[in-house]
Structure 1
Amino acid sequence: MSTSIYYAALVLHVVGITLMAGTSFIDFIVFRAFNKTYPEDLNQSEVLVKFLNRLQRFLGIGMGLILLSGITMMAKMHQVWGAQLWFRIKMILLLVVIFNGLGLRRVLGKQLNQLFATANPENSRWHRITTRFYLVQLVQLILFILIFILSIFKFN
């Protein structure tokens, strides 16, 4: 495999991570705005819920770029990175990102949509779901910070 393919995959990898991390940050900000407007302004809340649902597509695109480019780079550099501790930790964090972002966040998003569809959600259930949603988003952002740190300070 030529080095230009490796560098192209590296660029796509950085773009994918940035897309996922940026989308996660936007998801956090939009959810805060939604939580402040609901239930006082139902029209604004509906727009924000639709936007939150559309962000999932960008998370999936980012994850696809990360996986495709990561596999391409590993084909070239497996012996170099695969044995290093920082890389193994990064792979574990990436699996947690997938589970947290595309698993838990999606389930909580569906529960949030169901509650939003009911005109008057039960306060305790609403509070429980929004608290979990915030927690998932916060964990996601921390995981991306750790992944960026590991990628920059590659220790052995």
Structure 2
Amino acid sequence: MLFNTSLWLHIIGISLMAGVTVADFVLTRKFWALYAHNPQEGILVRRVSNKLPVLIIAGTALILLSGVGMMIATRGVFDTFLWFRIKMGMVLLVILNAIIFGRRQNAKLNKLLLQETPALSGIRKNLNTFHITQLVLFAIIYLLSTFKFN
């Protein structure tokens, strides 16, 4: 019972993180499109997207807690599989990329938006790279979780 419940919560956590990343990617693209023509509308979209990190934190907590639950339920048997070790590396990369790169770029963008004449050219490319990287990492995580090669 512990394993199935943990697996269910694990899938929810990964889906929550990946889904919020997609939503943030879409909202960020919408921000750039709106900001070019009407900065106030763009800033409104940005305010909405600034609320998303709470959901990312919730997804991360679910992944970690449910992962511990599955490890307890299986007495650590997954730790012996190569696919699991690679998946753990990918999850770590997702978390580090979000904390080190994504959060820094979002904070920089928010800071620049407070200025009267913000210079936003580099941040757009960096945020696009961040989102694409996150989505590729999530795709690899799903792949590893589904096919579980040995």
TM-score range, shorter chain: over 0.9
d(CA) in 2 for partners of 1:102 and 1:19?
Answer: 17
Ranges in structure 2 where 5+ consecutive residues have no aligned partner: none
User: Which shifted more, 45-54 or 86-95?
Assistant: 45-54
Aligned equivalents of 1:39 and 1:117: distance in 2? 16
Structure 1: state its 5+ residue gaps. Answer: none
> In structure 2, what is the equivalent of residue 10 of structure 1?
7
Which one-letter code corresponds to 1:150 in the other structure?
L
CA distance in 1, matches of 2:108, 2:83: 36
Aligned counterparts of 1:31 and 1:64: Cα–Cα separation in 2:
24
Percent of residue pairs identical: 36
Deviations 1:42-86 (CA, angstroms, capped at 9, x unpaired): 221121111111011111110010001001111122442110000
Q: Name the residue aligned to 1:54.
A: 51
Q: 1:120 Cα deviation (Å)? A: 1.4
Equivalent positions of 1:18-29 (< 5 A) are: 18-29=15-26
Which residue among 73, 79, 84 is the counterpart of 1:87? 84
Q: 1:15 to 1:67 in 2, by over 3 A?
A: same
Larger mean Cα displacement after TM superposition, 5-14 or 100-109:
100-109
Counterparts of 1:102 and 1:57, CA distance in 2: 13
- How far apart in 2 are the matches of 1:91 and 1:104? 19
Where in structure 1 do 4 or more consecutive aligned residues deviate above 4 Å? none
Query: For the residues of structure 1 that align with 2:74 and 2:99, how far apart are their CA atoms?
Result: 27
| Length-normalised TM-score, structure 2 | 0.96
Matches within 5 A, 1:1-156: 4-122=1-119, 126-156=120-150
Count of matched residue pairs: 150
RMSD: 1.1
Residues 92/78 of structure 1: CA separation in 2 closer, same or farther (3 Å cut): farther
Q: For 2:50, what is the secondary structure of its paired residue? A: helix
Structure 1 length normalisation: TM-score?
Answer: 0.92
Whichever residue aligns with residue 77 of structure 2, its letter is V
